[in-house]
Amino acid sequence: MDLLFKAVTIVDSTSSFDGQVVDLLLSNGKIKQIASSIEAEEVQTIEPQGLHCSIGWFDLIAFSGEPGYEHRETLQNFMQAAAFGGFTEVACQPTLNPVTQTRASVEYFRHVSASGPVRVHPLAAVTHDLDGKDLSEILDLQAAGALAFTDGSDALQAEDTVLKALEYLRLFGGVLINQPQNRKIANGGQMHEGTASTRLGLKGIPALAEEVQISRDLQLLQYTGGRLHLTQLSTAAGVTAVRAAKKQGLNVTCDIAAHQCAFTDELIAPFDTNYKVTPPFRSEGDRIALLEGLQDGTIDTIVSAHTPWNEEAKELEFDLAEAGIIGLQTAYAIANETLASHLSWREVIQKLTVGSREIVGLSAPSLTEGAVGNLTFFSPDKSWFFDERLNASAAKNSPFFGREMKGCVFGTYMNGQFTVNPAYQN
């Protein structure tokens, strides 16, 4: 059935309707009409107050459990959580079983999501079996549709591997995504190295573990002239280094996880493994630097860094538990709320729509009559509570259960499917 949205505010700087309150008619997967007032028969009319509409949101960094780790999360769970979180497109990390490093594994994601509520874009392994040594069949993977190349949470440690990857990807303008962490300096740390780690008796991960890798990767980038994306920055010095590199003209971009600005090492619940993430929650000074980096454009986008774990992987002593939290359903609200001192809610949407796609050269959808519908409906002012009843993921590793958040997704429209977020009605 056709859908008629009444009195929706358009949020799209490229649209002639930007900022206007209009009616929106969707039919057969397309935007049939946009006008100040639309009357139509045999349609489902939707008219909640204060609803906004933008092009569909794109999450650049997320982990799924399928294939290979379905006990953590299936692709169906993954796509449902993404849709509830407002994402119509998600890039999936290659850390799976089998690793996303063959033409067949790349095509698998494109096939399973071709007609679903969320389009899943595969990120392919840059090294064989994520070993950090021998490069994968990059050209073949690119031809199959790999969006970018990364070893996921397995940060590239060897300088020669980063150098070769940047040079090889430069042949076709490909993007290397790397999470900057020096394992030898991190050396089994469990949280940010500071007074809190000392007080709790937990081995710390110094900020230097990130900063050394960023400096190294930027030097290699300057030498090769390739394209580099640094994912999930967490330190003030890291932001400063990227800012300086951009001013020098280097082709570097970066992101932060939405949850990184929600806590500091002093505010996490002690020994609660739901607060164990990589990189760790750092100091207040680092958090403020991240906000400033978003404000001045040094940080290009915000990601969910969605990482599902089964209970057996999290219900352990802090030093034995796996790092990571689920974030697809909470990323927008956390960003909308915690970044408010430095970014307007419209700027947050810009990061989630255009900013994330520009990094990998993905064309942005169009919010015009006749265009294919790839849309997110949301309210930046609506408050809601996230609890396990609303959790679409099979995993439950989140520090945000029971927390009131501001900014709620109403639903998404993708491949002709309208997915309603139950949290909006809750």
Cis geometry, peptide bond prior to residue 67 (ω within 30 degrees of 0): yes
| Continuous H helices in 225-320 | 236-247, 284-295, 311-314
**Mean pLDDT of the 398-410 span:** 96
Q: For 238-276, write each residue's pLDDT tens digit.
A: 999 999 999 999 999 999 999 999 999 999 999 999 999
Assess whether pLDDT exceeds 90 at residue 132.
Answer: yes
- 320, 314, 292: which is closest to 233 by C-alpha? 292
CA distance 323 to 31: 41
Mean pLDDT over all residues of the chain? 96
Is the pTM here over 0.85, yes or no? yes
Give the pLDDT score at 369.
Answer: 95
Amino acid at 60: L
**Mean pLDDT of the 353-369 span:** 96
For the record, the structure tokens of 95 come out as 């850390």
Helix (H) or strand (E) holding 374, with range, is: strand 374-385
Distances (CA, A) of 390 to 99, 169, 296: 30, 41, 35
Q: For 69-119, write each residue's pLDDT tens digit.
A: 999 999 999 999 999 999 999 999 999 999 999 999 999 998 998 889 999
Give the pLDDT score at 110.
Answer: 87
Residue in the structure block whose two tokens are 């469990």: 190
- 422, 368, 353, 419: which is closest to 3 by C-alpha? 419
Q: For 148-174, write each residue's pLDDT tens digit.
A: 999 999 999 999 999 999 999 999 999
Assess whether pLDDT exceeds 80 at residue 426.
Answer: no
Query: Domains of the chain by range and CATH?
Result: 2-53+369-387+402-425 (2.30.40.10), 54-360 (3.20.20.140)
3-state secondary structure of 10: strand
Assess whether pLDDT exceeds 90 at residue 294.
Answer: yes
Give the pLDDT score at 306.
Answer: 98
**Mean pLDDT of the 397-410 span:** 96
For residue 400, list its beta bridge partners: none
Give the pLDDT score at 26.
Answer: 98
Q: For 315-349, write each residue's pLDDT tens digit.
A: 999 999 999 999 999 999 999 999 999 999 999 99
Please say whether the dihedral angle defined by the alpha carbons of residues 22, 25, 30 and 32, taken in this order, is positive or negative: negative
Amino acid at 70: E
Contact by Cβ (8 Å): 252, 228: yes
